[in-house]
Amino acid sequence: MTEKNEGNDVNEKAKKRNEEAESETVSEQTEPMQTENAEASAQPESADGAKENVPAQPSCEQLQADLAKALSDAEDYKKKWYSVSAEYENYRKRTAATRSQAYTEGRSDVIVKLFPIADSLERALAACSDEKTTQGIGMVLKNFEKLLEGEHVTAIAPVGEPFDASRCEAILAVDPKEGEESGIVKEVYAKGYEQNGKILRFAQVLVTK
């Protein structure tokens, strides 16, 4: 082998030793950095990037206590909800009943104002001698009676019945005829009216003494 070849071999061996040394140095520097990165990734970070410790998990006793409290609160809230619901339902029923009663009373007030008109028509019918006029007045009274029937209003005209102060008003006492009893309704001067058991107007009657 010539001197030139020997020199080249020496240079290549030296170059190879240098490359191996550099590789080992880079490997030694990389391993600590990878270890540090792995440790850093295992640590949670806060919003500002600072490392925080993982909070300890609650114990079984604490979880059971929290569950018992949650169940107790839920039961309490359920009872309150039932109470509020019952109060609202009662309020709704009272309001509906009051509204219905007010509506019925309002209609009754209007009907009561028609009673004097019916009284005048009945007196006119009794005193009228013209056949066509009598028929006309009679038709008006029949329509009025249909109106009362639709409103569940019935007339109070207890002729021949014992006097009842809860439904009648005695405006005159008359002597009884032979065989008649005392305290009997002899004549009805003005009819009374009642609606579903409620007196809208007392009947004005003549009663035997």
In the chain, where the domains are located:
153-209
Mean pLDDT of the chain: 78
Give domain 153-209's CATH number out of 2.30.22.10, 2.60.120.10, 3.30.360.10, 2.30.30.60. Answer: 2.30.22.10
Percent of all residues in the chain with a pLDDT value above 70, rounded to a whole number: 70
143 Cβ contact list (under 8 Å, min separation 6)? none
Average pLDDT score over residue span 27-45: 50
Q: What is the pLDDT, as a whole number, of residue 40?
A: 47
Average pLDDT score over residue span 25-40: 50
Q: What is the pLDDT, as a whole number, of residue 155?
A: 93
- Shortest CA distance to 192 belongs to which of 43, 182, 208, 161? 161
Q: Name the DSSP letter for residue 190.
A: E
More confident residue, 71 or 18: 71
Per-residue pLDDT reduced to its tens digit, 100-124:
666 666 677 888 888 998 899 888 9
> By the 8 A CB rule, do 188 and 157 touch?
yes
Give yes or no for residue 207 having a pLDDT over 90: yes
